[in-house]
Amino acid sequence: MGEADPRKMLGVMVDCSRNAVLSVPSVKRFADTISQMGYNALMLYTEDTYEVEGQPFFGHFRGRYSADELREIDSYCASIGVELIPCIQTLAHLNCMFKQRAVYGDINDCDDILLAGDEHTYQLIDDMLRSLSSCVRSRKIHIGMDEAYRVGTGKYKTKNGERDRFDVINEHLHKVCGIAAKYGYEPMIWSDMFVKLATGNDSQYAHADPAKIKEKAALPESVSLVYWDYYSDDPVRYERMIGVNKLFGRPVYFAGGAWTWNGFCPDNEKSIRNTRAALAACKARGVDGVFMTVWGDDGAECSPFAVLPSLLCAAEFYKGNEDLEDIKEKFARLCGASFDGFTLFDALDKPGGKHGVNPSKYLFYNDLFCGKRDPFVGKDDGAYYAALSRKIKGVSEKGEYAYLFDVYEKLADVLSIKCDMGARLREAYRKGDRRALSDILSELPALEEKIEAFYTAHKNRWFYDNKPYGFDVQDIRIGGLLRRVRSCKERLSDYLSGKINEIPELSEPQLWYEPDKAFWAETASANDIGWRF
């Protein structure tokens, strides 16, 4: 790709909607850092976390950015050569907004999707765009529209009957683009729904029939498409999909991924590998701009600063530099920290064996008595995490990011004794080995202390990076884990003292299934705790 073209976007998008909303000082820190890496654009992904004039319930108690905060961020970014670009949603991904049912229930089609074709929907969107236009100087705007899988199948279908979903979403897009034009905006959208619905495929990555896209391709003239893909290290796939997006006859941007959305830990290794392949394809096929996404699925437990190695690699790859040793030296100069030290954070999710995507998360929340993930634990995992905790602590070059290293040192320390505790409990109980059970009981106070130490480090990290909003969820999750550990301790003590005759959960057979990515709610309990698919 050669030297970065200053006329093209090279940006980063940070999720500020999955509970964690970067504080204004943190946005400035982040903007400073990526600017020095060579990025010229920043998007703050805000579903309902920005102030909308005339919509007091929009983002209420969610840490939304006020109009004044957005103006402050915009001015700062402009002063360092970074374009702040609004990145919002105007169709789906509005589940938190729809918790305000009394206010927004009437414009809910189904799931987290707005009711297309309804005048109140477009009044809300007009309010959104009007408010943003007075706070942010850029006339680029990302209006979302991804993953609206059941658009037109709920309230819309009741009102309008069965319709081709592509026509529903395209008509909606035309309407939103018309509103955007009122404020001088040049909108871009995630392209996945348009690719899927135009070709009749469940996956945007499936082989597409060009004739079907050309038949459906009457998108607004003003819109640009964003092809997002974080999952492959095959340049051929990326080249093919860039070509598919270009069939619509509109400008095409590419969005890659700096992996922060598996849980507490980043995956810099995967991010770097996949980004190298993606940017090679972008160079071969040509795109109008590139940005890296930093998502926060399932609670935003991972700091966006944890993927600084991935972001520097992406910027350097974009410029044509793939010399990793040179990149590591630049990282040390720019961040004052060790590149290899940062990549130790990945290692919490790579203990080996038959683990899924994010063992550091599911082993942390895995229940001591009802541990669905116990069958995946390897006999050496405890020693692995103990050694890793010491290794992270021993990194000498941490710079201003010592607070991040503290989080991962403490998490590894928890896992060093917790990862296999449920499996050991079950084995000892079934064998009737009361001495082994007593030994495990004696470990539980230390486990509580280690969880408390991790909680403190995690809390410190959160409040340093983010606004306080959203940490209530971490309090509920980690507080619930601590209370559950104490409950199990009490019942185990009662069993050993003869107060109770059995612990039925430990008699339940363990069932093997292929390990996969785990979310908090399905890991913490097999029972209904409000999680929805």
String of DSSP letters for 106-159: GGEEETTEE-TT-HHHHHHHHHHHHHHHTT----EEE------TTTTSSHHHHH
**What pLDDT, on a 0 to 100 scale, did the predictor assign at position 105?**
97
The C-alpha atoms of residue 464 and residue 23 are separated, in whole angstroms, by 8
- Residues 448-463: b if buried by 16+ CB within 10 A, e if exposed: eebbebbbebbeebbe
Query: Looking at the predicted structure, is the pLDDT value of residue 531 above 80?
Result: no
Confidence label for 3 from pLDDT (cuts 50, 70 and 90): low
| Tokens describing residue 139 | 């006339």
Sign of CA dihedral 336, 342, 344, 345: positive
| Average pLDDT of every residue of the chain | 96
Ranges 347-356, 403-412, 432-441, 461-470: which has the least confidence? 347-356
**What pLDDT, on a 0 to 100 scale, did the predictor assign at position 530?**
77
Per-residue model confidence as pLDDT tens digits over 103-120: 999 999 999 999 999 999
Confidence label for 6 from pLDDT (cuts 50, 70 and 90): low
Reduced to 3 states (helix: H, G, I; strand: E, B; else coil), residue 246 is: helix
* Residue 468 CB coordination number (10 Å): 11
Per-residue model confidence as pLDDT tens digits over 251-266: 999 999 999 999 999 9
User: What residues does each domain of the chain span?
Assistant: 9-332, 343-524
**What pLDDT, on a 0 to 100 scale, did the predictor assign at position 533?**
38
Confidence label for 5 from pLDDT (cuts 50, 70 and 90): low
The predicted model gives 129-137 an average pLDDT of: 98
Query: Looking at the predicted structure, is the pLDDT value of residue 4 above 70?
Result: no
Share of the chain above pLDDT 70, in %: 98
Residue 528 neighbours by CB under 8 Å, 6+ apart: none
The C-alpha atoms of residue 281 and residue 273 are separated, in whole angstroms, by 13
Give CATH for domain 343-524: 1.20.120.670
**What pLDDT, on a 0 to 100 scale, did the predictor assign at position 338?**
98
Is the Cβ–Cβ distance between 88 and 143 less than 8 Å?
yes
Q: What DSSP string runs through 280-338?
A: HHHHHH--SEEEEEE--TTT--S-GGGGHHHHHHHHHHHHT---HHHHHHHHHHHHSS-
| Tokens describing residue 11 | 């940006």
Least Cα distance to 392 among 374, 371, 407 occurs for 407
The C-alpha atoms of residue 425 and residue 171 are separated, in whole angstroms, by 58
The predicted model gives 440-461 an average pLDDT of: 98
What CATH architecture applies to the domain 9-332? Answer: Alpha-Beta Barrel (3.20)
Per-residue model confidence as pLDDT tens digits over 298-325: 999 999 999 999 999 999 999 999 999 9
The predicted model gives 80-103 an average pLDDT of: 97
Per-residue model confidence as pLDDT tens digits over 376-426: 999 999 999 999 999 999 999 999 999 999 999 999 999 999 999 999 999
Least Cα distance to 468 among 94, 67, 62, 95 occurs for 62
